[in-house]
Structure 1
Amino acid sequence: MSRWLSALALTLFLATPGLAEEVDATAPSKTLSEEATKQVMAKVVDDFIRPGYRAFAGESAMLTDAMAGLCAAPSQKSYEAAQSAFEHAARSWSRIEIVRVGPVLDAYRFERILFYPDRKGTGLRQVQAVLAGADEGATSPAGLAQKSVAIQGLGALEFVLYGTGKDVLLSEKDSFRCRYGLSIAGNVQRIATELTQLWDEPDGIQEDWKNPGADSAVFRDGHEGVTEALGILVHSAEAARDQRIETFYKGEANNTFPRQALFWRSKLTFTMLAGNLEGIHRLLDTSGFRDLLAPDQQPIVGSIDDLLISLTKLANEMEPDVEVAVADQAQRQKLDVLLKDSRDLILRLSDGLGGGLGLGAGFSFSDGD
């Protein structure tokens, strides 16, 4: 699908409070040389994507170990260790989750790691059915990999650790519930390891990303590669708003649905939001996008940095219990700020940074047309 884009008018960007005064967004963008774009793509791969998957693989391995320990010797201590390992693995995933392109989309790896959103409750019903039926086919990573993606990943494991019936994990050695949870952890670890290996292969996808052009199987030139990298930033900001906030809260005048929030049982909803924002910030800073901008346009990146810092701080300060948060007036005001500023973030990335680079990120960009 073509990623060639013409520059779009920056009307929305100019209308964003504070930005028009900082940068002359109508100035011609700095010409993107092939060498400069290759340097950016190399940083995207080597300084963000590969370390991100490597970190997630490490945390998922620790999660598998913690689940094995819980099954072998159930106790309050081993249970809390498994919960802690789950939180670390989930947070690690939230940072690299923003890369919704490449091998993670093959073989449904993305959904197998985290099946969400699940507005119809399909995953919950299937996980409950596995537990009720004690399906032994789900107790090995190989067997689990052949089943529905909805019962394979972190969402399913969250229910195992925090959902109805969890008390058996503290009292029964090698219970079915625990062995199923261990299988999920092993399955996630295997997928994380696959992603790490695929991105670390010198002649594989990293070569195509770092050397856009006639020999690349992915990008025809550096312009197309940088457009994809910008797309990661824009789409992940959209997902942070749409899937981490608006699934359960759309504004003060609307009803709220706290039990549709990601990881509401474990109280990690805002932890995952903060992790997504941290991932966006890290990719923006490590990629070198700033170096592609003309000197008078570089404040664009500074304004995005400031907004990301503010959003992440606010996400980390939220009441962890979503049901409490949506019922509290002060917390709802913070949610309103998160909604407003996350929309602003999308605009600054799409029209601000995209416009400064001579790229457009409007409707057709978002749809990949």
Structure 2
Amino acid sequence: MPNTVTWSIEPIDTLFFRQGTPYDLGQQVLTGDVLFPPHMSTLQGAIRTAIARAQGWQPGRDDKWPEILGTPDNLGEMSLEGVFLQKDGQWLFPVPRHLMRISHQKKTIYQNNLVYLKPGPLVESDLGVSALPIVDARISDEDKVSDIGDAYISEEGLALCLQGQVPPDTTIVPVECLWKLEIRTGLTISDQSQTAEPGLLYQSTHVRLEKGVAIGISVHGIPWEWQECIRAFPLGGERRFARVSLSKNAIPIPPLNVQPSRDGYVRVFALLLTPGLFENPGHVLRHGPFPDPCLSAVTGRITMRGGWDLKRHMPRPLRPFIPAGSLWFYRLTPEMWDTLKLLHDHHIGLEGEYGFGHIIFGQWEE
């Protein structure tokens, strides 16, 4: 894509991002209120503001705001891709939610492996007649299957997942290797005396990234010359600063590699790489994001996300997002697949220009 600039963002100290919960005097931001990686609703405002400042804009000078950067309610000529992570230059993506961990227990020895979920036979359930997900492996009664938890997967591991191959455990990176939480305590300073107000302490939780970890986003549609001078910009709460490295390299999304099965059907799963915003998220969770209903699904819980409106100085309304890593299984005819495969590495749902609903396809076998 022309005019593609990829931002690698690293905090200078810590970053402060919170969920859509109140944060007024006397309230605390605890570990459960922390949001990381930050949502694109937050990052897009910081990035657009940094680009506008580089072009001479200052707060209160609306006449200097570049038109191609849009308005508070649209991106103008810009579009975004992400949010993803990088570690030591290697791209990391959300773990597909059908990838599970199986623990084999023999006396005191534990050995962990990875295994997939796939659509099982049709059964009666509270969802009606459905093909509920089952483990795609032979396991004993002593084996335990659980989700991988908070983790990311490397580009190599994601490519293997899309081909239906089980990736090595080394391609999974737990969040403990990427960032840690730090609880900070502060006090309120009087505007008149510039001294501490008695009893007005507050507490917040910050995110400290491990060495070599960065937030990765691609900016499309804005000239390189408009961005090349940006070295640092304020990001998140408390106006913490982050440094940025720019590149013209695109984010390495694995290419489409799906083949028909011997019976002529094409068995694919549709995977969300970024959170998806849909008009009817409940319907999409159950039936999938396309007109033809899915066989089965492995999804996360809907999360409510907002952001901050820089123009109006107020929070944006909370909206429901289907989390990244959610996926839906399909058994398609070649004709149906010819239409659907055109969506690989594109965005579906609402506000795709913000990076929401980034969809890719992988293969599964019965």
**TM beyond 0.5:** no
Larger strand fraction of residues: 2
- Larger-gyration structure (1/2): 2
Normalising by structure 2, report the TM-score: 0.25
Normalising by structure 1, report the TM-score: 0.25
